Chains A and B, each alone.
Chain A
Amino acid sequence: MATVMPEAAVFQGLSWNPLTDVQQLFTYPFMVNALAAGTIVAVMAGVTGWFMVLRRQTFAGHTLSVIAFPGAAAASLAGLPLAVGYFGFCGLGALALAGIAGSRRSLSAESAAIGALQALALALGFLFVTLYHGVLNGLDSLLFGTFLGITTQQVVVLLAVAAAAVGLVAIAARPLFFASVDADVARAGGVPVSALGFGFLLVLGLSVAETSQITGALLVFALLVTPAATAHQLTARPALGIALSVALALAVTWLGLALAYFSIYPVGFYITSLSFGLYVLVRLGRALGRRRRATARLALRAA
């Protein structure tokens, strides 16, 4: 398994003293790199995920994140660096998804096309992994990621890609927001809606490709969708929403990494559970608030 914890010899366990525990988190270089990579990934996923949820492209986003898997498998089969496979396949996937969105006739035709694309990606991935006999360990870490053993060089590459992705979104933020909220009016106002849609899918592919190197192809989606969905529940204001989405993604990533460090269970489990727990809490809180407001209105009317 890729997510094996360090041996007991170097691992001091939880002392319940917050200061020394946090200090211990930063003792080992692998953990510092993991925290740095997690931070970069969380910021990028928070920003792009917010727009993905706004544009209702969760299925497309999930498909892109799944496409990262055959990319990595193909790269290991061909003996290329993994990053080449991740970026190549996610770029191609973004192209295909943009084509599907552009030519679509109806919602059902579009979802069938995305589904077929995703299944093809997974089938290819499994084929490549089978052909490449490194099978089991490799497969698990491709799908579920490894946050141990991230090199400093990887962190630098991550930072560059994340800066590019977030920068592109920031430059296009206003027209992209406009096009996402009301495509027809935006087009009438001269906003290049199709080009923006394609560009956004490319940036999404870029950030998915980066993120999946750390979290694995199957778990990227947790960081992309859940913090963003929670932020959308809390506020409709774009700037505040994006900030919230990033903050939530950061919080769950840090906590998840720390929890995984001090226990034997995988980081993916902690990150997904924390973010889903938050989402459920927020949904419940909002439902309760709505009910209280409704009863207050009723009482007012009765009085």
Chain B
Amino acid sequence: MFAHEFMRNALIAGSFVGLACGLVGYFVVLRAQVFAGDALSHVAFTGGLAAAVLGLNILAGVFAATILGGIVMGLLGDKARADDVTIGSLFAWTLGLGVLFLTIFTTQDSAGNGTAGVRVLFGSIFGLSAADVRTSVVLAVLACAILLAIARPLLFASLDNAVAAAQGVPVRVLGLGFLALLGLVAAQATQAVGALLLLGLLAAPAGAAHRLTANPYRGLLLSTLFSVGSIWIGLTLSYAFPTLPPSSMIIAAAVGIYLLALATTIPRARAVWPRPANANVAA
């Protein structure tokens, strides 16, 4: 398996993408911003296709779009926490734009290169070049470094926004910066699992970690382990059974881990948390 260069590239890039997704995902779940991740995945799709139409580098388009998208979402909401309906309306439109670009791209390119859309939507981790791997490693390390640098105040702001603000933590700037960082990581993940599936890599490992521990440092560690682990499992499965697409297998592994975490914690969760009277107030 390690004899093939494409497999080595995929494993290296995948590990770093997993690292960044696990770390950022932990905060995404903690701040209940999974929907923002969902929105960014659609922004990534449109950005990639817009770049394809303009003849630019697809990856550059994805990065520009998701970072911009993160900042816009931060600006739209109060306390840098955009509300669901605004995000929903915005990304429904973004997706419409994406469809427009897809049409332009497929009609413009008479060579019949209709696969760009699919590649952006579902990733192409086995097609990475050595240069792609270098970029993705550098960016992942950068994202992780920024996140670890702001981890403590961000944790404080995420757990209790009002108290953190009263203590002089720049809550709004942190929230904005975090969404921009989320955009960066989302673009990273688009390369590995595609725009549509990156949500799974953000939500599932982190969700599992939150189920298993309330300690933030242990949670961050677990979330990262799960996310890197699911990329390895997914890539191995896809290598062993070539008909199975790698991105689907990665997400399947991540969701599998999440379900295992749910299964192991359900009895304990019932005992510790009796169902409160307002448990099923609609979200």
Contact = CB atoms under 8 A, between A and B. Distances in A.
Interface of A: 1, 3, 53, 55-60, 62, 101-116, 118-120, 122-124, 126-127, 130-131, 135-136, 139-140, 143-144, 179-180, 183-184, 187, 193-194, 197, 218-219, 221-222, 225-226, 229, 232, 264-266, 268-273, 275-276, 279
Considering the complex of A and B, which 10 residue pairs feature the smallest CB-CB distances, nearest first? A119-B200, A272-B96, A115-B203, A112-B207, A276-B93, A123-B251, A222-B92, A269-B100, A115-B34, A111-B34
A53 to B, nearest CB: 6
Given A119-B251, A122-B251, A124-B248, A225 B93 contact: no
Contact of A108 (B32, B37, B102, B202): B32
A130 B211 CA distance: 33
Task: Classify the secondary structure of B's interface with A.
Answer: helix
Nearest to A51: B282
Interface string B104-124: 101100000011011001100
Given A57-B282, A122-B196, A130 B248 contact: yes
B92 A119 contact: no
B243 A232 contact: no
> Considering residues B30, B31, B92, B100, which has the most beta carbons from chain A within 10 angstroms of its beta carbon?
B92
B99 A144 contact: yes
Given A126-B248, A127-B244, A101 B210 contact: no
A107 to B, nearest CB: 4
Given A109-B210, A139-B118, A225 B279 contact: no
A37 B99 CA distance: 21
Task: Classify the secondary structure of A's interface with B.
Answer: helix
A116 B255 contact: yes
Contacts of B283: 55-57, 59-60, 101, 104, 107, 110-111
Contact of B89 (A56, A57, A118, A229): A229
B217 interface: no
Contacts of B203: 111-112, 114-116, 119
Interface in B92-149: 92-93, 95-97, 99-100, 102-104, 106-107, 114-115, 117-118, 121-122
B35 interface: yes
B122 A58 contact: no
Nearest to A104: B279
Interface residues of B, number: 70
Contacts of B201: 119
Nearest to B104: A265
Contacts of B279: 102-104
B122 A126 contact: yes
20 contacts: A55-B282, A56-B282, A58-B88, A59-B283, A101-B282, A109-B207, A111-B283, A115-B34, A115-B199, A116-B203, A116-B207, A122-B197, A123-B249, A127-B248, A130-B243, A197-B282, A219-B99, A225-B92, A272-B92, A275-B92
B220 interface: no
B102 to A, nearest CB: 7
Interface string B61-90: 000000000000000000000001111111
B251 A112 contact: no
A218 B95 contact: yes
Contacts of A126: 122, 194, 196-197, 245, 247-248
A101 B280 contact: yes
B114 to A, nearest CB: 5
Nearest to A233: B85
B281 interface: yes
A139 B281 CA distance: 36
B236 interface: no
A120 B256 CA distance: 9
A118 B255 CA distance: 10
B92 A112 contact: no
A271 B99 CA distance: 11
Nearest to B257: A116
B43 to A, nearest CB: 13
A114 B204 CA distance: 9
Nearest to B204: A116
Given A108-B210, A126-B245, A120 B252 contact: yes
Contacts of B200: 115-116, 118-120, 122-123
A235 B93 CA distance: 23
A272 B251 contact: no
Contacts of B32: 106-108, 110-111
A101 B275 CA distance: 12
B258 to A, nearest CB: 5
Contacts of A101: 280, 282-283
Nearest to A227: B89
Nearest to B117: A140
Given A59-B38, A268-B96, A120 B89 contact: no
B239 to A, nearest CB: 15
